[in-house]
Amino acid sequence: MPITKQQALDYHFGGRPGKIEISPTKPCRTQRDLSMAYTPGVAVPCLEIKNNPHDSFKYTGRGNLVAVVTNGTAVLGLGDIGALAGKPVMEGKAVLFKRFADVNVFDIEVNSHNPDEVIKVCQLLEPTFGGINLEDIKAPECFYIEETLKKTMHIPVFHDDQHGTAIITGAALLNALELVGKDISKVKVVFNGAGASGIASAEHYVRLGVKRENIFLVDTKGVVYEGRSEGMNPYKQRFAQKTKLRTLEEVTEGADLLVGLSVKGAFTPAMLKSMASHPIVFAMANPDPEIGYDEARAVRKDILMCTGRSDYPNMVNNVLGFPFIFRGALDVHATAINDEMKLAATRALAALAKEDVPDSVCRAYGVERFAFGPDYIIPKPFDPRVLVWEASAVAQAAIETGVAQEPVDLAEYREQLEKRLGKAHEIMRVVVHKAQAKPKRVVFPEGENDKVLRACHVLVEEKIAHPILLGNEQIIRNWAGELAIPLDGMEIVDPAVSNWRETYIQEFYWLRQRRGITLSDARELINNRNVFGSMMVHMGNADALVSGVTQHYPDTIRPALQIIKVRDGIHKVSGLYALITKKGDMLFLADCSVNIEPTAEELVEIALCAAEEARRFDVTPRVAMLSFSNFGSTQHPLCDKVRKAVELLHRADPNLIADGEVMADVAVSPEILESGYSFSQLKGGANVLICPDLNSANIAYKLLSTIGGVQTIGPILMGMRKPVHLLQRGAEVEEIVNVAAIAVMDAQGLETPVPAGRSPEPVVALPRQ
């Protein structure tokens, strides 16, 4: 999807400049901690390492630390822009290593075009790192650098530009050939692009079973053939063929596989027509492939195709490779990443694509089902199973080939990998993809606000929602012009001149005439954009409402309660936050925003709504009713209220895992629960925490988000007849997008419209945020 220059700069500059930081793994809060972290305590592991160098993996972070090394001579599609200019890419690589495989990275930018100097830097830094990832170094120097380092170093060295593409397309090749029923030893393969990735992929295909004599390389000078001298090097020479063919068009005729690692438009419809039956095409130029997916499909209905784009099936993305390959290599302290480990990674990816895909992965990508076939031949990057399958396969290959210094029990290792995933990795992407599956109309009463406009731009670009902006059309258009935001895909509604205005006035008067509102009052109040927006949702002209970025909480929620009202069976709305810890665990905390002193009966409603919301996030709820007492340890009316709520909750939903009253630390500590309260239902710890009052809930979430390093999603308003979600004042663009995505997800659950009957008037105390 298109990204503006300013969006890219804001992303890299916002908050702390750059994309990575260092976080300590040991406490350093006291004088004793300081003495352990540095002198004199640090001397002890130093001497241990001096006596046994391999103990560096035991007493330092070396075993989980990779150097991403570049000299900036072949940065993405930008070419030779220099080492310093390539630093944002290397930091980006570090983010991917950490996000997908929990591998730490230092990026090393070497200011030299001399390959021997790059080699020397890596060799001198070997004591620092557990592995070296070479990145964005031009061919043919990259081949020489990697080959030399592999011969002289005793840690894994891996050039991702070469081997990442090779490994992932190798998996696609195996599965594609299986689907079209062709023998790998008999297929004709043509590569357009004879740089690092092209040559490495060709070599990898040979190891997979393609005959070298059946592989044809084409570069800017044409076909690589025996006797050619122009633009040749020893690496291309390995694939020089005895042939009279000289052009890509000539050599493509009768080919079974056409691999593009070149430029947009390099493949023509005529070339595809000349290929063998059931052709396979990997068109991986970015951002635009060598031939468009739709154009290729129009030419050959029997084609099986991969691209480098996420908006087409079978995206080839190197993030499916390098994080997990290094994870497996590091965890067994491998001295190299050899060919067998690369083959193991390829075969693991190919095998995983044939497995039944979990519903959570399908929902993350906004589809009902993925199934092995022409449109799904390699796993998706956000499939959490890739870590377990690929890293364990790489580790096993390292053990079997003798390069693992610390062999592991593979069954135990797979369990360790699964623990790394956490319980809520990439939660918001799952919500976003669910929203993308069936976008809904979301009305924003604060349509003239710049943050709302920027958020709505994202919602349209990512196809999350159909935004409706309330406000003066000229003001909104002026703001959009200043912000360089196109308004395509957004609807602007000015309450002052809307065709719906009179209808809304009459309906609002009908709803509130016995609550002290006259027709004259209704005509005045309809100018309140929260009232107008709530009426849009009530009347079915919008599916959800998101508001509050510039207003106090009571001013935002009151119109929604008066017009949209609570859903049947619920007496009070409540507020919930989703909390994502640094470990990736997900917790739900309620009620953080609405009810000041809920009764036992109201706590039950809050718990049931919170459990329902947890399920929307694909989390099985385990509910803890919190107090300052553990299972009757303290006798006090406040504890009695929570105990009563637990009893009522078990009656309301006997199948819900819920327990209490319990202290917060006990509720989230499986070890304490197991050792001291083994009778509790909360096996594994609670993930839905119901606080006894607003004081405790609001204080807890604000402390956790401010000084606890916890990421919060919300507030999520629960119990409304139709989705209404209220933002914190000053909410950032990302928070608005997240809440809007949640609103769409909630609206998707209301496919059958709820009748607009009269609900009991909610009686809710409204705190100011």
Do 525 and 515 meet the contact criterion of CB atoms below 8 Å apart? Answer: no
Q: Is 504 a catalytic residue?
A: no
∠ CA 542-545-548, rounded to 5°: 155
Place of tokens 């983010």: 95
Element (H, E) at 444: strand 440-444
Gap between the Cα atoms of 274 and 281, Å rounded: 13
Gap between the Cα atoms of 173 and 377, Å rounded: 9
CA distances from residue 232 to 139, 194, 380, 410, 701 in whole angstroms, order as listed:
11, 10, 37, 44, 63
Q: Is 225 a catalytic residue?
A: no
Do 744 and 465 meet the contact criterion of CB atoms below 8 Å apart? Answer: yes
Neighbours of 6 (CB within 10 A): 10
Look at phi and psi of residue 409 and say left if phi exceeds 0, alpha if psi is from -120 to 50, else beta. Answer: beta
Q: Exactly one of 38, 58, 582, 683 is catalytic; which is it?
A: 38
Q: Exactly one of 93, 434, 565, 572 is catalytic; which is it?
A: 93
Do 513 and 499 meet the contact criterion of CB atoms below 8 Å apart? Answer: no
CA distances from residue 695 to 540, 577, 598, 700 in whole angstroms, order as listed:
36, 15, 11, 8
In angstroms, what is the C-alpha Rg of the chain? 30
Beta carbons within 8 Å of 165's beta carbon, 6+ residues apart: 197, 200, 201, 261, 284, 316, 318
Amino acid (1-letter code) at residue 731: A
Q: Tell which residue, 170, 353, 173, has the closest CA to residue 257.
A: 173
Give the residue ranges of DSSP H helices in 212-338. Answer: 234-237, 248-252, 269-274, 293-299, 322-331
Beta carbons within 8 Å of 124's beta carbon, 6+ residues apart: none
Do 86 and 11 meet the contact criterion of CB atoms below 8 Å apart? Answer: no
Q: What is the DSSP letter of 157?
A: E
Catalytic residues: 38, 93
